[in-house]
Amino acid sequence: MSNRFMTMLALENAQFADGREVIAALKSFAPNVEAETVDSEQAEAAQPTHLVRMGQTVLALIHVDKPLPVDTAERPIAYNQTWPGAKAAVEKHKAHVIVAVFQSEEGFAAARQSAINLTLLTAAVIKSHSVLSIIWTTGNTISEPIMAFKALQQISEQKYPLDLWLQIYPYRPPTLPESQTMIGFVTEGLQPFIGREIQFEPGALSPQDTASRVLNISHYLLAQGPVLRDGETLGISETEKIRIRHRPEGAQPGVPILELSLEQAKTI
């Protein structure tokens, strides 16, 4: 498990705030959050990279005076289902800021706190820059800038911002006959938290219900950690049983998964 969280923020122009200005922006909406710049004042003036300490996490702010790499937004835009203006926003950006976890403790709780700190600092960059879009790289999501602040509201309510942190993709195994219309789903973005992604195999549930199960289970795992054991079942209802299997990889090569399969359900 690696706390390799990072956001890439597309900017309308190449006007950058330094680390101290970003901290000031952070304090304007989160005055009780512990945060300080690690750089000296002289280093801040001379370097495009600044370090910020938030508790046990050190994050890097990297100013890049050119657009995002060409392929950075392709996949997030391709699977985006919630923001029709994503492609247009990215097309008009001129520069970008990278906000990345540089140093943190190990383990699930530390990973989740790193993601929360990254969300906070991303919101501070949005407050102090002309940000057009957010790419959360471990989940390959693309979001409107306002979503960072909505995510912080969810976190304050002890919920977790799935729309910002995670992506889910439709999945059909190659062995499934074309005549079968069943669809499963896989996640992207859970692995840095729990060491695995979810892969819900196609079954009797509708695509909407399958996606709902994946999101609910994802939220449970973000709240509780990697607690689902190999071979056990989830009881969504009295008539539904979901079997859990730990697999070394699934549809995404080399990525360990929680393979979920429906063993019992009402007829749809």
Q: What is d(CA 263, CA 70) in angstroms, rounded to the nearest whole number?
A: 43
Looking at residue 1, its pLDDT comes to: 42
pLDDT digits (tens, 9 = 90+) for 96-152: 999 999 998 999 999 999 999 999 999 999 999 999 999 999 999 999 999 999 999
pLDDT confidence of residue 266: 53
Q: What is the pLDDT of residue 268?
A: 46
Rounded average pLDDT per 10-residue block, the chain, 268 residues: 81 93 96 87 63 94 93 92 93 96 93 97 97 97 97 96 95 74 90 96 89 95 96 81 94 94 66
108-128 and 146-156 helices, crossing angle to 10°: 140
Is residue 19 within 8 Å of residue 47, measured between CB atoms? no
Distances in Å between the alpha carbon of 2 and those of 57, 61, 119, 198, 255? 13, 19, 17, 17, 13
Sheet holding 95-103, edge to edge: 36-37, 49-54, 57-64, 95-103, 6-11, 131-136, 141-143
**Rounded Cα–Cα distance for residues 152 and 237 (Å):** 31
pTM of the predicted protein model: 0.91
Burial tier of 236 (Cβ tally within 10 Å: 0-12, 13-18, 19+): middle
Provide Rg for the chain, Cα atoms.
20
d(CA 77, CA 159): 25
DSSP H or E segment with residue 196: none
Q: In a 3-state reduction of DSSP, which class is residue 142?
A: strand
Residue 231's pLDDT is 94
Q: Cα angle at 188 between 186 and 194, to 5 degrees?
A: 100
Q: Taking phi first (over 0 means left), then psi (-120 to 50 degrees means alpha), and beta for anything else, what does residue 189 get?
A: left
Nearest CA-CA partner of 153 in 168, 163, 167, 139: 163
